[in-house]
Each structure stands twice: as C-alpha cells, then as structure tokens.
Copies of this chain bind each other. A is one copy, B any other.
C-alpha cells in the first residue's frame, strides 16, 4: 500500500487511517490532502482513526500539521473515531492534540463541520440546512 486514499463527500474530504504511518506515507498523505483541498474546494477534512491502537507523538504531530495546513487552505479538520484507550494514552503522554477538533464518529464530525460552516456562511443567500438533518 503506497498511500492512504482520500475520499470526497460533498465538500468534505474523508481519510480513514488504517495502516501504520511511516514517514513516507504520512508526508504523502499531507501532500495529497492539501492538493485535494485545493482541487475540490473542500471546506472540511475528517480523519478517522478508528483502526489505530496507538497514537504516538509522530502521529499526533502529523494530525496537527494536517490541521494547520488545512486551516491555511480554509478547511477545518476533525479527528473522529478515537478509541478510549488512545485518548487516555495521549493525555498521559502529555499530547492532548491541541488545535485539533475531535468528534466521536464520522456523522458527528460531519455535523460539527457543517455547523461551523453554517456559522461562517450566515450571510449567504441560501442558508445551510439545519445540522439536525444530519442525524
């Protein structure tokens, strides 16, 4: 497997991380995501880490970098699907993922992204649909 696929869902990009992120794959993912945000005009990035048993400082830093790059490109990042044990370990390691938004699952993450956009775009002619519709 040479790269992590980036899936497009409306104006949100979805990445499900399932493989151990070596340097090369992590860098490739960051580049792919930045390119796809620009190409699709996506306003949100959902990163699913359900499959990860361990989130170490390397992965934490990669998530923070992706969030920062996305923000510069006008896209919010939400990390979803974190396991309870991973959250505990992150805090114990002193890596509380500052600057990264989290949600329990993909649907709640989508809701968070759309709610955030809804606030941003309150002046637009066509209002965003209510977040309640997403459930």
Contact = CB atoms under 8 A, between A and B. Distances in A.
Nearest to A107: B8
Copies in the complex: 2
Interface in A70-101: 81
A9 interface: yes
A128 to B, nearest CB: 13
Interface residues of A, number: 22
A92 to B, nearest CB: 23
B5 A81 contact: yes
Interface of A: 1, 3-5, 7-10, 14, 16, 18-20, 48, 50-51, 81, 105-107, 110, 134
Given A8-B105, A9-B106, A18-B18, 13 more contacts: A1-B19, A1-B51, A4-B51, A5-B16, A5-B51, A7-B16, A7-B105, A7-B106, A8-B106, A8-B107, A9-B9, A9-B110, A14-B14
